[in-house]
């Protein structure tokens, strides 16, 4: 499924099989998660995508053309971080997620809304046993970015999650495993998402623009809605952290300094490092993270994106591509 131009629908097209470049493997894709970032790319909210582009950066499949690290038949995940320079000040200080020249899967590099994808094997992960391909796909970004955001939220006992989509449904399970208390804040009146959050262990779920029943110690804002930032700052206690986890957000309205005062911290989380990936892939089976997915055929990618845009996905949307071949 190819994006020719931002703001247009993806087009189903037959492409030649990708040739592996230096250090790359070719992966036969079994499943590819649909991420909000894909929407931002398709809608033209992120600058300068490769065009035409195959989106998708939560890829689970089997190696079809092997390399040195992964052989034919190995099950691998291909994440958002597709390549880094290895020599800039960020790469050299354990912050490859901030590399100036980083290239991202499904944005600068063709991704997994396809039957085959070429990927630099140094950035691929082994996928934990115990997850089928569909359930593993959301771990690759919703899980990984959620996990990095949770780490940056610090030692919070009372954790607020603004926007209850694919990431939040995974983070809730990890946070509960760590004995934190989870408060889910959703669109006004979204009783379905609120019920889903409670099923997964949130002790309270309600509307995001109203204060939760008690102070939060930290909050993660997953929804791309700038209005939620002052709301989250107003909800966290002194010393609390508000982490913005999305790659794109509508403008944040101005707010009184008082909301930040008291050593509250406002920060973003950008991308992932390979270390995040390795840690989270090791953690997910120990927590027994269970992902809830809604499956779509590859040719239904536009519908999956439309449902995600409308907030009408429970858990994570995943394209089911070649699992029969596995
Ligand atoms: Zn770099
Ligand atoms: Zn993503």
> pLDDT band at 15, cuts 50/70/90?
very high
For residue 139, the ligand closest to its alpha carbon is 2
CA 273 – ligand 1 centroid, Å: 11
Find tokens 């390399």 and name the residue.
67
> pLDDT band at 323, cuts 50/70/90?
low
CA 106 – ligand 2 centroid, Å: 9
Q: Is the pLDDT of residue 141 over 70?
A: yes
For residue 222, the ligand closest to its alpha carbon is 2
**CA separation for the pair 289, 171 (Å, rounded):** 9
| Cα angle value 112/7/322 (rounded, 5°) | 20
For residue 36, the ligand closest to its alpha carbon is 2
Q: Is the pLDDT of residue 75 over 90?
A: yes
For residue 112, the ligand closest to its alpha carbon is 2
Q: Is the pLDDT of residue 226 over 80?
A: yes
- pLDDT on residue 326: 39
Q: What is each CA distance from 296 to 129, 134, 304, in whole angstroms?
A: 23, 10, 7
Mean pLDDT of the chain: 96
- Nearest to 323, CA basis, from 124, 147, 131: 131
**CA separation for the pair 39, 53 (Å, rounded):** 13
CA 237 – ligand 1 centroid, Å: 36
Report whether 309 contacts 181 (CB < 8 A): no
301 vs 322, residue with greater confidence: 301
Q: Is the pLDDT of residue 325 over 70?
A: no
């Amino acid at each position: 499924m190819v994006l020719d131009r931002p703001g247009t629908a993806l087009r189903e097209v037959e492409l030649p099989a990708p040739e592996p470049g230096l250090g790359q493997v070719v992966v036969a894709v079994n499943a590819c998660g649909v991420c909000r970032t894909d929407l931002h790319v398709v809608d033209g909210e992120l600058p300068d995508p490769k065009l035409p582009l195959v989106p998708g950066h939560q890829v689970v499949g089997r190696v079809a053309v092997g390399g040195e690290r992964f052989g034919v038949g190995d099950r691998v995940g291909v994440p958002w971080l597709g390549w880094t320079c290895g020599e800039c000040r960020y790469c050299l200080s354990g912050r490859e997620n901030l590399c100036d020249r980083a290239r991202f899967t499904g944005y600068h590099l063709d991704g997994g809304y396809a039957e085959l994808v070429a990927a630099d094997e140094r950035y691929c992960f082994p996928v934990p046993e115990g997850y089928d391909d569909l359930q593993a796909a959301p771990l690759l970004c919703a899980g990984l970015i959620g996990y990095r955001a949770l780490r940056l939220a610090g030692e919070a006992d009372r954790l607020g999650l603004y926007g209850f989509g694919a990431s939040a449904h995974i983070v809730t399970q990890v946070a509960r495993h760590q004995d934190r208390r989870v408060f889910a804040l959703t669109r006004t009146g979204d009783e379905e998402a609120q019920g889903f959050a409670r099923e997964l262990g949130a002790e309270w779920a309600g509307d995001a623009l109203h204060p939760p029943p008690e102070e939060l110690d930290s909050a993660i804002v997953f929804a791309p809605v700038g209005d939620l930032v002052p709301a989250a700052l107003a909800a966290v206690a002194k010393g609390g952290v508000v982490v913005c986890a999305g790659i794109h957000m509508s403008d944040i309205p101005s707010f009184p300094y008082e909301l930040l005062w008291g050593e509250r911290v406002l920060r973003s989380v950008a991308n992932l490092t390979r270390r995040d990936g390795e840690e989270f892939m090791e953690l997910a089976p120990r927590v027994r993270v269970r992902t809830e997915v809604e499956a779509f055929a590859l040719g239904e990618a536009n519908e999956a994106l439309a449902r995600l845009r409308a907030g009408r996905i429970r858990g994570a949307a995943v394209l089911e591509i070649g699992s029969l071949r596995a």
